Chains A and B, each alone.
Chain A
Amino acid sequence: MKQFGYTTLTKKSVNIYETDTSLWKELSAANPEFKGCLSCGACTAACPINNSGTTLNNRRTIIELNRGMAITSDAANCQMCNRCSLVCPKGLNTRRIFFELIRKRTEEKQ
Chain B
Amino acid sequence: MYKFDPFAIPFLIGFAFVIGWVIVRMIQIFIGMPKKDKKRVFVNIFTFKTVRGIGEIISEVLIHHRIWRENKLLGFMHMSFALGWFLLIVTGWIESSLRANGETLPIWQHIFYKYFFPGEHVFRLSDVIKQLMDLWLAVILLGQLIAVLKRFFYRRAGIKIRTRHSRMNRIALTALWFIFPLRLLAESCTASLYGGGGFLTGSLGQLIAWIGDASFITYPMWWAYSIALGVFFCVLPFSRYLHIPVEAFLILARRWRVSDITTINRLETMACSACGMCLSDCPLARNNIAGVQPVYFIERLRDGKATTDDAWKCLQCGRCQQICPVRVHANNLRQELKGSTDRVEFGLDTHKRVLAKRVTLFSGCMGKLTPRTKAAMEKILNAAGVEQTWIDEERDLCCGRPLRFNGNQNTANQKFNELHDAILETRPDAIVTTCPICFNMMKNRFETIPVYHHTDYIRMLIEAKRIDLERSEETLTYHDPCELSRQAEYARQPLKVLNRVGTMLQPEETGEKTRCCGGAVAAIGLNNSERKTLAQETADYLSNRNADKIVTACPLCKKTIAQRSKRPVADFAEIVADALVERE
User: Hey, which bits of chain A sit against chain B, CB under 8 A?
Assistant: 31-33, 36, 46, 48-49, 51-52, 76, 79-83, 86-87, 90-93, 95-96, 99, 102
Q: Besides the contacts A51-B396, A79-B400, A82-B519, what 5 more A-B pairs have beta carbons closer than 8 Å?
A: A32-B527, A36-B528, A79-B402, A80-B524, A93-B527
- Cα–Cα, bound, A76→B411 (Å): 9
**Residue contact B531 to A82, C-beta cutoff 8 Å:** no
**Residue contact A93 to B524, C-beta cutoff 8 Å:** yes
With contacts A52-B395, A52-B396 taken as known, whether A80 is within 8 angstroms of B532 at the C-beta atoms is: no
Q: Digitize B330-373: 1 where CB-to-A-CB distance is under 8 Å, 0 elsewhere.
A: 00000000000000000000000000000000000110110000
With contacts A82-B556, A86-B366, A86-B559 taken as known, whether A91 is within 8 angstroms of B531 at the C-beta atoms is: yes
Partner of B524, one of A48, A90, A99: A99
**Residue contact B526 to A93, C-beta cutoff 8 Å:** yes
**Residue contact A95 to B396, C-beta cutoff 8 Å:** no
- Provide the residues of chain A in CB contact with B552, threshold 8 Å: none
**Residue contact A80 to B403, C-beta cutoff 8 Å:** yes
Which residue of chain A has the shortest Cβ distance to B395 in the bound complex?
A52
- Cα–Cα, bound, A92→B529 (Å): 9
- Provide the residues of chain A in CB contact with B400, threshold 8 Å: 79
- B516 CB, min distance to chain A CBs, angstroms: 14
Q: Digitize B184-204: 1 where CB-to-A-CB distance is under 8 Å, 0 elsewhere.
A: 000000000000000000000
Tell me, yes or no, whether B289 is within 8 Å of chain A by CB. no
Q: Digitize B393-411: 1 where CB-to-A-CB distance is under 8 Å, 0 elsewhere.
A: 0011010101101101001
**Residue contact B524 to A81, C-beta cutoff 8 Å:** no
- Provide the residues of chain A in CB contact with B396, threshold 8 Å: 48-49, 51-52
Partner of A81, one of B402, B528, B529, B563: B402
- Provide the residues of chain A in CB contact with B365, threshold 8 Å: 48, 79, 81-83
**Residue contact A31 to B527, C-beta cutoff 8 Å:** yes
User: Hey, which bits of chain B sit against chain A, CB under 8 A?
Assistant: 365-366, 368-369, 395-396, 398, 400, 402-403, 405-406, 408, 411, 415, 519, 521, 524-529, 531-532, 556, 559-560, 563
- Cα–Cα, bound, A85→B396 (Å): 17
A-B contact pairs, 29 of them (CB 8 A): A48-B398, A49-B396, A79-B365, A79-B400, A79-B403, A79-B415, A80-B406, A80-B521, A81-B366, A81-B402, A81-B521, A82-B365, A82-B366, A82-B402, A82-B519, A86-B366, A86-B369, A86-B519, A86-B556, A87-B369, A91-B528, A91-B531, A91-B532, A91-B563, A92-B528, A93-B524, A93-B527, A96-B525, A102-B408
- Provide the residues of chain A in CB contact with B556, threshold 8 Å: 82, 86
Which residue of chain B has the shortest Cβ distance to A86 in the bound complex?
B559
Closest A-B pairs by Cβ, 8 of them: A48-B396, A81-B365, A80-B402, A33-B528, A80-B406, A79-B398, A81-B402, A86-B559
- Cα–Cα, bound, A86→B524 (Å): 13
- A96 CB, min distance to chain B CBs, angstroms: 6
Which residue of chain A has the shortest Cβ distance to B365 in the bound complex?
A81
**Residue contact B528 to A80, C-beta cutoff 8 Å:** no
Which residue of chain B has the shortest Cβ distance to A77 in the bound complex?
B411
- Cα–Cα, bound, A65→B525 (Å): 19
- B584 CB, min distance to chain A CBs, angstroms: 40
- Provide the residues of chain A in CB contact with B528, threshold 8 Å: 33, 36, 90-93
- Provide the residues of chain B in CB contact with A31, threshold 8 Å: 527
- Provide the residues of chain A in CB contact with B405, threshold 8 Å: 80
- Provide the residues of chain A in CB contact with B525, threshold 8 Å: 96
For A48, A79, A86, A90, the residue with the greatest tally of chain B CB atoms inside 10 Å of its CB is A79
- B569 CB, min distance to chain A CBs, angstroms: 13
- A21 CB, min distance to chain B CBs, angstroms: 21
Which residue of chain A has the shortest Cβ distance to B529 in the bound complex?
A33
- Cα–Cα, bound, A92→B405 (Å): 19
- Cα–Cα, bound, A33→B530 (Å): 11
- Cα–Cα, bound, A86→B366 (Å): 9
